[in-house]
Amino acid sequence: MLPLFAAGQPVRHSWDGCGLSPTTKMRTLNIFANIIFDVNPSKDPVWNSPYWHKITDPAKAGVNVPGTEPSYLLDYMDTVYVPGHTHGSITRVFGESSFDEMQIIGDFVVVNLLESRMYSRFGQGNVFSLDKILTLCLEMIEETGGLSTLYGHNRRSDYTYNGKDLYYSLLYVRNTSHALGGVNVGSGYGNFYSKYILIDNEKVGFSGRGAAQCVGSSNFGINPAGVATHEIAHSLFGSNDFHTSGGNNRAGACTMCFMNLQGGYGLMGAANTGLVCCNGYERWRMHWKHPSSPYYICARNRENTDFLNADISKDDGSQTFVLRDFVTYGDAIRIRLPYKDRSITPNQYIWLEFHDVGHNNKLDFIQHSNEKECLQKGSSGIYAYYQIGRDILEGTASQVWDRVNRDNLRVISNEGYWDYVQSPLPKDTDFVCTQWGAVGYYYTPKYSNAFCGYQDQELFIVPKEQDTDLSNTIDNVFDNGKLVRKEATIREVTPHNMIKSGAMVTHSISYIGDNQDAFSSHRKINMGTNPSTCNTKTCYTNSTGKTKLSFQQNSDKNNKTTYLTGLSIEMTPLNNGRLWQVDIRWDDYDITDEARWTGQIVLKGNEQVNLTQGHSITLAQNRTPAQSHRNPESGYFADPTMLVCEDGSIFIQQPRTSLQITEKSRFVMDSGAVYRLGEKAKIVLQGGSSFYIDPGADFQGTASSEIIVKKSSTLYVRDVAKLQEKMRITVRSGGKIVNI
């Protein structure tokens, strides 16, 4: 369906880019600024390093002073683009992501400027803004006679593509901080504003495209997912509303799909991205595809002899695809999920990509693992994630770059989703490879929670016992035992130092991923596994700065329901793991494991559940925050669980199976729903739970099947006598049956 356009509004395309074309071939002007603190030497906020030296000698102030350049410049950006032989991290990551459609090269100017000159030019005080640093750099370049780069690209035509302004420029500052300049290491912003730069005795303006950031003194060229990649990606994908894949933060008041911040991987990922490559969603929005591929979302047929359109839905029926390495060939699968709460609720999709980590000779590994030996590099296997909304590539500007789906990608980890338990670390715990700063807790995945739980590539919201409303939680701040102030805060923590399979996992930096996230061996997932193939829950949330959450705006877009479907995804490695076969079905209703389900769940009229022999389903309380207020009945920031079987649905318990309804959960059979209870199968109601068999529902058991109603629980049924003719109903002390 074509998008509707308001009268007079131009047609826009995501693949045009948001300020920078994804087919751009450009040379950027890179200005590296190092502040010499000649007035207050002790205030230099950045330590010394071998990569970009701290300077204390005022005599070394100037432009391109020999011996003061960062050592990593050519590891950061190439000066000439050679397809298939790119080297610098920025040049290479955008080249590999775009199949050489986007070619970024550059040249460099290094400026050492005096703190005293800053005061002389702008006065005393906090004057170290990036804009003022840039102004001084350009003045110093002019004083030396104009632009003179390290590798000789000094002509106006080297940087201009419209015959007028410099097309794209970048400022990198070594040593500002929040107190001295307003920008800490790792932070920055898009756009590049200044009056002009002197080139060949001519004053040349800037287009405004670009970015400025503080990069510190580390080896900036070694990280393809650094701040510069993120800022350049803004010019492709959109404003701060497009933060995602580990690049989101609480600094703005943007509307997000989830209560908590998401990890993941992609060009927008920045400091908290996992893999350093792009993702299929980004390639799709930019229309980057392999030259041989006929589709923007494409995979191979079973024989790996031809291309198939891999953007599918339930209407396409069962499908079999073969995936080659994603970064090399672009193969990916996107599955549109069939149900959502209402028409205005954004669509949801599951993406599948095979990343042959360690074998593809690409920038495709977990961030920092090429720097820190203690970090895992990631596994070769299939990486999966949800896409929420943002599925309009052509339309008005507000349709293509909507403002209500920030952080719209969520990882589907092979490890599944869980209710985690927080515990304090022993004080003498020593970690070789850890998150920056002190980490006082570890987290244990305690209860399987495929529909509502957390996975370790997202931040956890951890309320305190006294909290009743997450949108306005208050911390008491003490000094020497005396209450000094009350501080509103979001208690969002990094899930570092996990305990998995009885062992402490310390070889990861907060939520950027590990070797267990990919599907690296044969596995089939469906609605009964963890993770499942069901949709994810959304909770549209506004962050008002770093202290409060708002749950009201856009709450009508929430998808609060998990829809049970027959979608199964079977992943099988081929050719020693260098290829993967993916079989997709829509009629796989078998539950072949022990399932624990929480939240609001619906079995639609054309769907089924088939609990296979010897297995169980437990309806239990969700312990992971899912709403702003603490439910008075459950005691958690989540309502009690309820599963509804709609008219036309079929729920089957094979012989010797068990449905455990616990913790005030409810099971509801609407009129027209069908339930079959096999030999020696049982339904157990406990902990204040209830089971509703509405008039018109078709419930049938056998002589050896049984419903057990324990203390405080209730069976609501249309005709008790008829039900008892075919099966046993046992009512324990404190339980009851109610006719409806």
pLDDT digits (tens, 9 = 90+) for 440-466: 777 888 999 999 999 989 999 999 888
In terms of domains, do 104 and 199 share one? yes
Among 177-191, 567-581, 696-710, name the one with the lowest average pLDDT: 177-191
In terms of domains, do 501 and 367 share one? no
Peptide bond before 50: cis, by omega within 30 degrees of 0? no
In the numeric block, the tokens 């970024």 are attached to: 104
Task: Give buried/exposed letters for 320-345 (b at 16+ CB in 10 A, else e).
Answer: bbbbbbbbbbbbbbbbbbbbbbeeeb
Report the pLDDT averaged over residues 273-279: 96
At 77, list the tokens: 């950006």
On average, the pLDDT of the chain sits at 91
Q: 186, 218, 238 — which closes off a domain?
A: 238
The model's pLDDT over 597-642, given as tens digits with 9 standing for 90+, comes to 999 999 999 999 999 999 999 999 999 999 999 999 999 999 999 9
pLDDT band at 336 (very low <50, low <70, confident <90, very high): very high
In terms of domains, do 351 and 409 share one? yes
Q: What residue spans of 129-220 are helical by DSSP H?
A: 130-143
pLDDT band at 4 (very low <50, low <70, confident <90, very high): very low
Return d(Cα 540, Cα 554) in angstroms, integer: 6
Whole domain around residue 204: which residue ranges?
13-238
In terms of domains, do 574 and 686 share one? no
In a domain, 4, yes or no: no
115 phi, psi to nearest 5 deg: -55, -40
In a domain, 215, yes or no: yes
Q: 505, 539, 569 — which closes off a domain?
A: 505
In terms of domains, do 501 and 530 share one? no
In a domain, 725, yes or no: yes
In a domain, 162, yes or no: yes
Report the interhelical angle of 227-237 vs 89-98 (nearest 10°): 40
The model's pLDDT over 668-718, given as tens digits with 9 standing for 90+, comes to 999 999 999 999 999 999 999 999 999 999 999 999 999 999 999 999 998
Q: 186, 206, 238 — which closes off a domain?
A: 238
Report the pLDDT averaged over residues 144-162: 93
Return d(Cα 693, Cα 669) in angstroms, integer: 5
Burial class for 676, CB neighbours closer than 10 Å (0-12, 13-18, 19+) = middle
pLDDT band at 498 (very low <50, low <70, confident <90, very high): low
Q: Does the pLDDT at position 435 exceed 70?
A: no
In terms of domains, do 397 and 524 share one? yes
pTM, to two decimals: 0.94
Q: Does the pLDDT at position 94 exceed 80?
A: yes
The model's pLDDT over 279-323, given as tens digits with 9 standing for 90+, comes to 999 999 999 999 999 999 999 999 999 999 999 999 999 999 999
In a domain, 330, yes or no: yes
pLDDT value for 7: 55
In a domain, 2, yes or no: no
Q: Does the pLDDT at position 725 exceed 90?
A: no
pLDDT value for 439: 64
In terms of domains, do 431 and 552 share one? no
Cα R_g (the chain), whole angstroms: 29
The model's pLDDT over 103-141, given as tens digits with 9 standing for 90+, comes to 999 999 999 999 999 999 998 877 788 889 999 999 999
In a domain, 1, yes or no: no
At 286, list the tokens: 């930019």
Q: Does the pLDDT at position 547 exceed 90?
A: no
In terms of domains, do 444 and 525 share one? no
In a domain, 30, yes or no: yes
How many distinct structural domains can be found in the chain? 4
SS (H, E, C) 88-107: CHHHHHHHHHHCCCCEEEEE
Q: Quick check: 456 and 415 in contact, CB under 8 A?
A: yes
SS (H, E, C) 15-69: HHCCCCCCCCEEEEEEEEEEEECCCCHHHCCCCCCCCCCCCCCHHHCEECCCCCC
DSSP-derived secondary structure letter, 555: G
Q: Quick check: 219 and 53 in contact, CB under 8 A?
A: no
The model's pLDDT over 223-260, given as tens digits with 9 standing for 90+, comes to 999 888 998 999 999 999 999 999 998 877 789 999 99
Q: Calculate what percentage of the chain has a pLDDT beyond 90.
A: 73
Instruction: Single out the residue of 448, 451, 381, 401 nearest to residue 643, CA to CA.
Output: 451
In terms of domains, do 409 and 423 share one? no
pLDDT value for 507: 53
Q: Quick check: 533 and 525 in contact, CB under 8 A?
A: yes
Q: Does the pLDDT at position 196 exceed 70?
A: yes
Instruction: Single out the residue of 340, 416, 341, 411 nearest to residue 596, CA to CA.
Output: 416
In terms of domains, do 534 and 610 share one? no
Report the pLDDT averaged over residues 378-402: 97
In terms of domains, do 230 and 291 share one? no
Q: Does the pLDDT at position 432 exceed 70?
A: no
In terms of domains, do 547 and 642 share one? no
